[in-house]
């Protein structure tokens, strides 16, 4: 037997062993849909996929991260000034079904619904950065920031300048950024901030083959966007701290986002989420007394924070979205850059349309990621068959993640309506209760709809076969995206 023949024989034998092992192993570790997708990939490319699975296959967090999180929660619960105690009010004056829904959110995320809040909607990048910089300029005790992507550019200079000045006058400034999303920032701009007195730390530092006690698979990312100033003013939504062209990503097309500037008790919940993430990454427990002032009731808005991610036993945000779809009676509007639904989300959308609910979906005409965008388009046929109205937003990248249900329930935050956001990423979302709160979000959705055009099933049916074939192939791997 020649050396090449021997190598081929060993490769063929090892490939068979990989396929056989994965056939028994994957169904024990994943849902049937995810396991099937991995098995398909393993059957086609056994060795490359085995390597990929070793890097990306596990969705569980290292035990050390879980221990740190539980230790922090235990410490906070023992403290009478813990942030959850500060906002543990009875359910505000809501209809019974909304109170039950809020109770579901509280059970899964350990965050109660809060009354007495106020919020402003920020959609323009310049306005978002300007308002945030202005609040940082007025900070007196603390500025706690957590973002997925940061970039020091012309648009964001006003933000960074305000942050440096705040640190210079003695304000405690902390910045937690995702190690992958802000990779360029950490290499180029973080050193300057540290010299100016800003604490800069990275979340989920990647280790591809060498895992540390607190790192996990490479693509488990912290996708949260949170800013809390003096414990009294908060921001969260889809904006990252970067120019709205995202440094030329997606061929320079403008990104369109939505962030809420918040005051009231809900800000303590955002501060609490930041506190937990900061502790897990740094082992520093922030002072409850200094970082959690008594919440001020600044308005009438009823809002609930819903943090989600691999550290929670359930996909809690996905459960809330599905539950909200099932309670819909008249109309659902969803805006998202990425729609890759799991079976439960698809069934909930189908149930809604079968019940006579009008479902409108607004997505970008062109996305920024080919594979993810192609997988999303593969679901259009299914959505058309259900009766979902698909509207394409042609003016850049629609990056806002919102959902309104009837006239009394709205969702805003960082989570896309895809499997990755539901299961893999650390996200933060808000649920808004009541007619006024919902109408405020729907008014922005109406603007998106007015600037979009409706795609018909006939137009979609005229798509060239080769493109539909590409979409179909990528759909097979959607549980892995």
Q: Number of helices and strands (H, E) in the chain?
A: 20, 19
Q: % helix / strand / coil in the chain, to the nearest 5?
A: 50, 20, 30
Active site residue 401: yes
Active site residue 347: no
Active site residue 223: yes
Let me know if 44 is exposed, middle or buried by CB neighbors in 10 A (0-12, 13-18, 19+).
Answer: exposed
Element (H, E) at 221: none
What is the distance between the alpha carbons of residues 137 and 157, in angstroms, rounded to a whole number?
A: 13
Are residues 137 and 165 in contact, defined by beta-carbon separation less than 8 angstroms?
yes
Q: One of 30, 178, 223, 243 is an active-site residue; which one?
A: 223
Strands (E) in 251-376, as ranges, are: 255-256, 259-263, 301-308, 331-335, 339-340, 358-364
Rounded to 10°, the helix 465-476/370-377 angle is 100
Tokens of 65: 């991260």
Strands 331-335 and 427-433: unpaired
DSSP letter (8 states) at residue 30: S
Q: One of 135, 178, 230, 408 is an active-site residue; which one?
A: 230
What is the distance between the alpha carbons of residues 191 and 349, in angstroms, rounded to a whole number?
A: 47
What is the distance between the alpha carbons of residues 387 and 354, in angstroms, rounded to a whole number?
A: 8
Q: One of 30, 225, 239, 391 is an active-site residue; which one?
A: 225
- The phi, psi pair for 159, rounded to 5°, reads -70, -50
DSSP letter (8 states) at residue 371: H
Instruction: Name the residue with tokens 């850059």.
Output: 337
Q: Which residues contact residue 103 at a Cβ distance below 8 angstroms, ignoring those fewer than 6 apart?
A: 91
Q: One of 30, 256, 391, 401 is an active-site residue; which one?
A: 401
Tokens of 116: 């007495």
Q: Any long-range contacts for 104-109 (C-beta under 8 Å, 24+ apart)?
A: 104/319, 104/320, 104/323, 105/304, 105/306, 105/316, 105/320, 105/431, 106/304, 108/306, 108/312, 108/314, 108/316, 108/319, 108/320, 109/305, 109/306, 109/307, 109/308, 109/312, 109/316
Residue 388, sorted as left (phi over 0), alpha (psi -120 to 50) or beta, turns out to be beta
Q: One of 277, 399, 408, 475 is an active-site residue; which one?
A: 399
Q: Which residues are catalytic?
A: 223, 225, 230, 399, 401, 406
């Amino acid at each position: 037997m020649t050396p090449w023949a021997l190598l081929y024989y060993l490769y063929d034998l090892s490939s068979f062993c990989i396929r056989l092992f994965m056939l028994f192993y994957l169904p024990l570790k994943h849902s049937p849909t995810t396991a099937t997708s991995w098995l398909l990939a393993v059957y086609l490319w056994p060795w490359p996929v085995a390597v990929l699975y070793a890097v990306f296959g596990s969705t569980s967090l290292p035990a050390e991260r879980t221990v740190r999180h539980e230790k922090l929660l235990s410490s906070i619960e023992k403290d009478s000034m813990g942030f959850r105690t500060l906002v543990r009010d009875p359910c505000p004056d809501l209809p019974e079904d909304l109170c039950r829904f809020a109770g579901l959110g509280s059970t899964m995320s350990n965050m109660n619904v809060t009354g007495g809040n106020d919020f402003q909607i920020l959609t323009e990048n310049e306005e978002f950065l300007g308002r945030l910089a202005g609040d940082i300029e007025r900070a007196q005790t603390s500025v706690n920031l957590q973002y997925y992507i940061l970039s020091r550019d012309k648009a964001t200079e006003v933000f960074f300048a305000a942050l440096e000045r705040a640190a210079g006058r003695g304000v405690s400034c902390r910045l937690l950024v995702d190690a992958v999303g802000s990779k360029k920032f950490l290499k180029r701009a973080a050193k300057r901030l540290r010299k100016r007195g800003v604490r800069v730390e990275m979340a989920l530092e990647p280790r591809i083959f060498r895992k540390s006690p607190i790192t996990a698979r490479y693509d488990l990312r912290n996708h949260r966007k949170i800013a809390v100033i003096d414990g009294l003013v908060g921001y969260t939504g889809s904006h990252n701290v970067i120019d709205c062209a995202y440094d030329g990503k997606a061929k320079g097309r403008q990104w369109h986002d939505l962030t809420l500037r918040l005051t009231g008790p809900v800000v303590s919940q955002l501060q609490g989420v930041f506190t937990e993430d900061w502790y897990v990454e740094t082992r520093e427990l922030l002072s409850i007394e200094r970082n959690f002032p008594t919440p001020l009731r600044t308005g009438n808005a009823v809002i609930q924070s819903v943090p989600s991610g691999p550290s929670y036993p359930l996909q809690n945000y996905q459960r809330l979205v599905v539950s909200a779809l099932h309670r819909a009676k008249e109309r659902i509007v969803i805006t998202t850059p990425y729609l890759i639904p799991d079976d439960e989300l698809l069934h909930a959308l189908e149930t809604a349309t079968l019940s006579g609910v009008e479902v409108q979906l607004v997505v970008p005409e062109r996305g920024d990621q080919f594979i993810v965008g192609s997988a999303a388009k593969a679901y259009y046929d299914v959505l058309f068959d259900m009766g979902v109205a698909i509207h394409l937003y042609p003016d850049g990248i629609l990056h806002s993640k919102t959902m309104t249900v009837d006239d009394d329930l709205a969702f805003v935050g960082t989570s896309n309506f895809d499997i990755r956001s539901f299961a893999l990423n650390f996200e933060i979302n808000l649920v808004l209760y009541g007619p006024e709160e919902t109408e405020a979000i729907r008014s922005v959705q109406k603007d998106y709809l007015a600037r979009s055009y409706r795609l018909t099933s006939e137009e979609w049916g005229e798509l060239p076969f080769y493109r539909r074939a590409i979409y179909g192939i990528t759909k097979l791997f959607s549980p892995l995206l």
